[in-house]
Structure 1
Amino acid sequence: MTSEHDTLWRLCTRLGCVLLPLVDQEPWRQTRRHENLRTWGISTVEGERLIEVFTALAAHAAANASTPPAEFDALPLRAVADAATGKRDIELLAGLPDTFTGSRDEQAAGLFRLYAYKGGQYSRRLFQLGTEVRHALVTLAERSPEAALTCGDVLRQAADEASPLQ
């Protein structure tokens, strides 16, 4: 049986996975992000994967580990954006699950952990990635006609865009 914590973590990782494709509806945004990553000395693949896990960690921190998964839908996207830049790297790591369902998440979380513990330029890179995550989340929130976009709204939007047209 899946624990509520594991279910919440999966919702958070889903948010991280859909963020960039939704933001990249305007193609110039992806180009700008790739340029930023290169400037910061981060490969595109590594940077985008770190952005995904950073988003998941920020969502988990904003939701609080004791939040029931059913309440995740109502979590304001701006709260996740605030957690992305308002929480220290170590605070974000507190939300990592003990085990992962896939090696992809485990590798990305390990890389985030390595960056957080190495310090120096790696801490600076996490700061830069955090601002990129915040920017992407705020962009989605501002683009939406909804007054206060929630995590559930974003996940539904991603599901709607993924489903084939009838």
Structure 2
Amino acid sequence: MTSDHDMLWRRCAYLGRVLLPLLDQEPWRQGRRRERLCAWGIDVAVGERLIEVLTSLAAHAVAVDASLSASECEALPLSAVADAATGKQDFELLAGLPDTFADDRDDIAVKVFRLYAYKGDQSSLQLLRLGTEVRHTLAVLAARASVRSLTCRDILREADEAGLPQ
């Protein structure tokens, strides 16, 4: 049986995975993001995966701080996730994670994030830049929405409607 804590991570990880495909519905955005990653000296595949995991970590940190269950986390405002992506320290984003991950991709991505966080110097700068990329992505998605205060539930619903894999 899956614990609520594990389910919370899975919902947050799903949010991270669907973020860029939703943004890339405007194809030119992908090209610009990839140009920025290259200009920052970040490998595109690594950078995009770190954007995904950074989004997941930020959503998870906000949900854990608010003591939300997996079912309640979808009510998180995107603005709170964006604030956490740029406002929390790396170690704060890593606090409260599950001990193990059902998805090996999540386990590896979190380990890579840890390496960047603990390495310092250039890696810390890259995480800061990726955090601003997450904030920008969430702001673009929020600006597209017809509702006033976009939540994680709205993004997940949009991903389901777009047929993105879970």
- Shorter-chain TM-score category? over 0.9
Alpha-carbon contact 1:55-1:133 (below 8 Å) kept: yes
* CA distance, structure 2, for counterparts of residue 102 and residue 158 of structure 1: 19
Q: Report deviation, 1:96.
A: 2.3
* CA distance, structure 1, for counterparts of residue 74 and residue 59 of structure 2: 11
Counterpart position of 1:140:
141
For 1:2, what is the secondary structure of its paired residue?
coil
Counterpart position of 2:5:
5
Unaligned runs of 5+ in 2: none
- Could you state the TM-score of these two structures normalised by the residue count of structure 2? 0.95
* CA gap 1:140/1:110 in 2 versus in 1, 3 angstroms: same
For 2:6, what is the secondary structure of its paired residue?
helix
* CA distance, structure 1, for counterparts of residue 96 and residue 56 of structure 2: 9
Counterpart position of 1:75:
76
Query: 2:73 is matched by which residue type in structure 1?
Result: F
Post-superposition Cα deviations, 1:6-61, rounded to whole Å, max 9, x if no partner, equal: 00000000000000000111111101110111111111110110000000000011
* CA distance, structure 1, for counterparts of residue 114 and residue 105 of structure 2: 14
For 2:50, what is the secondary structure of its paired residue?
helix
Question: Superposition pairs for residues 80-95 of structure 1, below 5 Å?
Answer: 80-95=81-96
Q: Report deviation, 1:117.
A: 0.2
The yes-or-no answer on 1:119 pairing with 2:140 is no
TM-align CA RMSD:
1.1
* CA distance, structure 2, for counterparts of residue 22 and residue 79 of structure 1: 19
* CA distance, structure 2, for counterparts of residue 120 and residue 152 of structure 1: 36
Unaligned runs of 5+ in 1: none
Question: Superposition pairs for residues 52-63 of structure 1, below 5 Å?
Answer: 52-63=52-63
- Could you state the TM-score of these two structures normalised by the residue count of structure 1? 0.95
The percent of aligned pairs where both chains have the same amino acid is 63
Counterpart position of 2:161:
160
Displaced runs of 4+ in structure 1, greater than 6 A?
A: none
Matched residue pairs, number? 163
Counterpart position of 1:30:
30
